Amino acid sequence: MDHVDRILAQWQAARPDLDVGPMGVMGRLNRLQVHLSRGLETIFARYGLSASSFDVLATLRRSGPPYALSPSDLMDWTMVSSGTMTNRIDRLVEAGFVSRMRNPADGRGFVIALTEKGFALIDEAVGAHVGNQHALIAQLTAEERDQLDRLLARWLSAFE
């Protein structure tokens, strides 16, 4: 019996008229997210990054050469607002991990590009990140991971 089971039992006693089954799924997902976020943050911190700065650098790295995207493309990939993205970019420019330059395609807008320093950092950090993800999910068998991934993908597709 886990913490969520105890909460469900309390609700069942307090409100037997309610089907609190979905509360178990939601509660476990929320609690798992806290544990996973903590586990991920340890790797990001090792490289002087936050989850949000890692996200921007990783997005640029996986975009392929020339490792540059417009701010709007970065917003689309990272699902954040314009103001949030501007703040993230400003911090990464200040740290020397990205540069902001005129868009060579139209000259009006800007592109955000990985610097050599940013490329080296994210290449090393993403390797450690992937290893950490393997460790965080190691309690599940390969078959369980595949099944969970399929279920979560199906559920997520209902929202996206």
Structural domains of the chain in order of their starting residue, each with its CATH number:
1-14+22-46 (no CATH), 47-157 (1.10.10.10)
Report d(CA 22, CA 26) in Å as an integer: 6
- Tens of pLDDT along the chain (160 residues)? 899 999 999 999 999 999 999 999 999 999 999 999 999 999 999 999 999 999 999 999 999 999 999 998 999 898 888 888 899 999 999 999 999 998 877 777 899 999 999 999 999 999 999 999 999 999 999 999 999 999 999 999 999 8
Please classify residue 11 by burial: count the beta carbons closer than 10 Å to its beta carbon, then call 0-12 exposed, 13-18 middle and 19+ buried.
middle
Residue position matching structure tokens 């609190």: 20
